[in-house]
Structure 1
Amino acid sequence: MVQRNHSNKNIIISFLTLLMMLILPAWVAAAPTDEATNVSTNKTWTITFNKAVDPISVNLNSVYVLDQFDVKKNGTITVSPDRKSVTIAPPVEGYNFSNTYTLHITNSIKDESGKPLSSNKQKKFTIETPGTYDIVNIASDGTTSFVKSYDSYENALTNLKSSQGIQYKDSLVKIPSGMVVTRAHASNVLTNIYSDKQLTKPVTYVISNTELPYISSSDTYVEVNVAGKNMFISQENSKLIPENALTGRSYYSVSNSELVHSIYSTSSKTYSSYQIGAAPDFMTAGQKYYSVDGTHFTNTSEQEIGTSYPYFEYLSARSKTTYTAEEIDAYISAMLLKLESDYPNNVLYQQAAQKSKLIGLGSYLKQIEETQHINALFILALAQHESAYGLSNRAQQYNNLFGLYVSDNNPLAKYFPTVESNIDELIKAFINKNYLPPNAGYANGAVFGNKAIGINMKYASDPFWGAKAAGHMYRIDQMMGGKDSITKYKLGITNTSGLNVRTGPGTEYTAAYRYTKAGMPITILDDNLPEADWIKILSDSADYEELYIHRDYVQEIPVK
């Protein structure tokens, strides 16, 4: 509880630690005497205020950490955008094991009106003691038994047998094989995924309890497979599960000629499933299949059986649907009535055909398709996925069909005056600004994609967000007669980095933009040009409709 000061002019602060929150007494009271113990070596402190502070007054002289020799030992100090909190990072090398430090907040910190804190405040904290690295045997049922302790990971690794694992503070940090389940660390539910072992180059992120195939590990990182690419996450965000301890595993299967993904939860030991699209011809009903990226499949014996890309997951958002506004409106009405009929006892779907925020959007979606060059069904599929068919609380109360400005760590209730203004915000502030233009900050391909390609890399923490949204687009098309599936575009993937995408079929034409990395998804408009070495593609940039790439740098992909 916060003790109120008799004067409301003073700033009240609190420490938000990784594992606990300590709210300081009123400024007129004595400094706190309790001491935090067993603090992590990479501890970041956050100080929160009841007033916005003057950021100029927040510096190494007004807030800092001293070691036992009165030497400053903190890292970067950052003021939050609202100026009501300050974070103090640990030193680059981390705090030393078993050492005691003191966090100082001085009255040099001022609020925006220039009023300082009434007194200095201090907080002592002691860093955890180092643990031992224990070699363990891993039994056939996944249980472990202690073998021997070592004072360093390197010493344990030197003596490790191929069938054994290494534990640190009762957590496995190395296993022969198995899976990794991501876990929250401190107040952050997200796990950053990096391209380097040093964990300095973030590529994407996933939510807690995401299952990833284990490749290797050290005492600081875990190498995992993310959508077909080997990348790295922190040990702090990892729970390693040996192969023998796995009680279930995510898989793909065929149901009614459609591809179904069943995701296993290690915490609840249950499966949840969703439909992606049409099943590849090489799959058989009643069989299980595995895939790390949803395109390259093996059987349960880990033998490769085929490759197939879900069409709507890899179709450019710049494409156009063949359906009219009237057909889209008719679909929305039919879909909502179907939800009412199929789930009569579900409160969410009751009176769906009267209250959904999707009703009557056909004309506006087609208008956006023409003016902003975003497929109308692409937007509708995203709205269905993010807003439970326009029936979610955010859709109903805030006209927010897409969860805009809502993150895993900050579920902001952002209001929009109309659903049309919400769609405008999605297109102008997100999709057409940051995701589709080739040189935009989050550009990884103009498709729904996954955690290695497309919008999914930076838009959503769910690694299967792209596949789920594509599943909605597939079902929309199927319910309206499947016209978009019948008249498929050809799709491809680039195979080289630094690839120029030109305004005409030849090197003499200007480059409209460049793909800096290989593996970019493209939608092919014509691969039978008079200029045989060139193919016509759909532009990722809204400034062009059609562009050209040399045939040698594109691999057509099989779609279903």
Structure 2
Amino acid sequence: MTKRIIRPTRPVRRTGSLKGLLFFFLLGILLFVLLRDKPQTILSPASPYIAELYRDGKVIQEEEFDSFDEAKTFLNERRGAVKRTSDDRYLYLTGSGIGIVDAGQTLNIYADRSLKKRQTYVAPGSRLSLLAYTESVSRIEIAGLTGYVASDRLTLYPIEQSSHQSYYEKQGDRLLHYIVADAGLGGLITAGQAPASLPERTTKYVESKTLTKDLRQATDLTAKQLDAYIRKNAPDSPLIGTGKTFKQVERDFKINAAYLLAHAIHESNYGRSEIAQDKFNLFGVNATDIAPGKNATAYTSFEDSIRKTGRFIARDYLAEDGKYYRGAFLGNKARGMNVFYASDPYWSEKIAGILVKMDAV
């Protein structure tokens, strides 16, 4: 019988334990790197209000505040403004600036701080020059008029933060006006015949000579010349052939036919506007800012519109005892037809520009 001898084997080396130690060592280093204190990378939220200080037309200092009153106090009547950080809307100004009439209703302008004596009104989107601002009432200027308005109807901008401003400039004998405004009221227009002494460019209000022309005086243009102007500028206009009607109304009611045609062209786009097509309304009569198409007066024909509106304007706007008489000329927001006829502050200038192009000044 053979005996089996069992010899002892070499012990197995446990290499896995060393790998484990190395793994946990490296893991520890990684966690240390990830979890150690780091500079904060998320910015803390901005304070609700920012006060800006200005000097020489530039921002020289900005400070954040948790309350509106604190921001106002910081200004301490120094030239500056307070804005809300949530929407960047300016809520307070010291000194002058710009006020944009908020959307919605027209804005009344008054002769007194108590807002009792109404002078005129302007359309939403109009830009007023703020001469002096308070949180309740502001003193403003627009289109030749200085008056007072309710401050809560305005969107405020400091001059220092306004990159574009309206200006006038002279081009030959024509006065051009670059109007900065909202709601379709802006653009570059011919504003009438330029005054001889006008500087090359100015942001101050300029009154064209055309705005003071007496609209009770007949034009030298004939019915054929009026029709020729329409045909040249709008060959598809349904107003071609109405020259005789304009001249007849001129004779009957003592109202300038060229002005009346220019008025119709501006308001109705040569008789092609929706209101003109639907209601034969050429002059925007009762076409309010809120619902122009719905409220506009309807007529039976273009001739009916020309005749009835000519009589209405001659009686209520040009006659000295008229309900809306402020001078028998186009004027501006201080005097003339534009005081009460239209909410667009520069409605009169746009008509005056057409008269210049007609050579009817």
Bin the TM-score by the shorter chain.
Answer: 0.7 to 0.9
Q: Alignment partner of 2:135: what SS? A: coil
- Aligned 1:385-404 pairs, distance under 5 A: 385-404=266-285
Assess, with a 3 A threshold, how the Cα gap between structure 1 residues 159 and 446 changes in structure 2: closer, same or farther: same
Q: Deviations over 1:13-71 (max 9, x none)?
A: xxxxxxxxxxxxxxxxxxxxxxxxxxxxxxxxxxxxxxxxxxxxxxxxxxxxxxxxxxx
Alignment of 1:118-197 (within 5 A): 136-138=51-53, 140-141=58-59, 145-146=63-64, 149=67, 160-165=76-81, 171-184=90-103, 188-197=104-113
Asked if 2 retains the 8 angstrom alpha-carbon contact of 1:321 and 1:375, the reply is yes
CA distance in 1, matches of 2:316, 2:173: 36
Contact 1:142 1:244 (8 Å CA) reproduced: no
Q: CA deviation at 1:271?
A: 6.4
In 1, are the aligned partners of 2:107 and 2:121 still within 8 Å (CA)?
yes
Residue in 1 that maps onto 2:254:
373
Give the Cα–Cα distance (whole angstroms) in 1 for the partners of residues 228 and 183 of structure 2: 41
- Report the residue type matching 2:190 in the other structure: Q
Alignment of 1:342-353 (within 5 A): 352=236
Change (3 A) 1:435 1:256: same
Distance 1:232 1:416 in 2: 38
Distance 1:361 1:230, change over 3 A: same
Contact 1:251/1:263 (8 A) holds in 2: yes
Write the distance in 1 (CA, Å) between the matches of 2:163 and 2:169. Answer: 19
Query: CA shift at 1:336, angstroms?
Result: 2.3
Alpha-carbon RMSD across the aligned residues, in angstroms, is: 3.0
CA displacement at 1:266 relative to structure 2: 6.8
CA contact (8 A) 1:357 1:399 kept: no
Deviations along 1:375-426, one digit per CA (max 9) or x if unpaired, are 1101101001001112212222321111222110122254311111112221
| 2:163 equivalent in structure 1 | 247
Query: What's the CA shift for 1:258?
Result: 2.1
Aligned partner of residue 310 in structure 2, secondary structure:
helix
- Counterpart Cα distance in 2 of 1:142 and 1:449: 41
Larger Rg: 2
5+ unaligned residues in a row in structure 1: which ranges? 1-133, 296-309, 338-351, 478-483, 486-560
Instruction: Name the CA distance, whole Å, in 1 between partners of 2:99 and 2:60.
Output: 14
| TM-score between both structures, scaled by the size of structure 1 | 0.50
Q: How many residues align?
A: 306
Question: Hey, what does 2:232 align to over in structure 1?
Answer: 334
Deviation at 1:323, TM superposition (A): 1.9
Rounded Cα–Cα distance in structure 1 between residues aligned with 2:61 and 2:127:
20
Aligned to 1:465: 347
Query: Deviation per CA, 1:490-543, whole angstroms, max 9, x where unpaired?
Result: xxxxxxxxxxxxxxxxxxxxxxxxxxxxxxxxxxxxxxxxxxxxxxxxxxxxxx
Asked if the contact 1:395–1:401 (Cα under 8 Å) also holds between the matched residues in 2, the reply is yes
Q: Shift in Å at residue 467 of structure 1?
A: 0.7
2:212 maps to 314
Whole-Å Cα distance in 1 between the matches of residues 62 and 328 of structure 2? 46
Shift of 1:233: 1.0
Partner Cα separation in structure 2 for residue 143 and residue 190 of structure 1: 36
**Contact in 2 for aligned 1:142/1:242 (Cα 8 Å):** no
Aligned to 1:453: 335
Question: Does the C-alpha gap of structure 1 residues 211 and 159 become closer, same or farther in structure 2, counting only changes over 3 Å?
Answer: closer
What are structure 2's unaligned runs of at least 5 residues? Answer: 1-48
Post-superposition Cα deviations, 1:145-186, rounded to whole Å, max 9, x if no partner, equal 345857699xx57972322335699642333222222113xx
- Give 1:290 shift: 1.8
Aligned amino acid, residue 317 of structure 1: L
| Separation in 1, partners of 2:244, 2:323 | 31
Q: Aligned residue for 1:79?
A: none
Q: Name the CA distance, whole Å, in 1 between partners of 2:61 and 2:121.
A: 30
CA offsets 1:183-227 (integer angstroms, 9 cap, x no match): 13xxx3311111111112111111122112111122211111123
User: What residue is the counterpart of 1:425 in the other structure?
Assistant: 308
Q: Which residue of 2 aligns with 1:227?
A: 143
Displacement of 1:267 in angstroms is 8.9
Do the aligned partners of residues 414 and 142 (structure 1) sit closer, same or farther apart at CA in structure 2, a change above 3 Å counting? farther
- Percent identity, please: 30
Instruction: Return the alpha-carbon distance in structure 1 between the equivalents of residues 285 and 321 of structure 2.
Output: 22
Q: How does 1:85-96 map to 2 (within 5 A)?
A: none
Q: Structure 1 residues 231, 152: CA separation in 2 closer, same or farther (over 3 Å shift)?
A: farther
Query: In the alignment, which residue of structure 2 is the partner of 1:272?
Result: 187
Q: 1:288 and 2:201 equivalent?
A: yes
Q: 1:422 to 1:230 in 2, by over 3 A?
A: same
Distance 2:113 2:83 in 1: 20
SS at match of 2:340: helix
1:237 matches 2:150: no
| Letter paired with 1:394 | I
What TM-score do you get using the length of structure 2 for normalisation?
0.75
> Which structure features the higher share of strand residues?
1
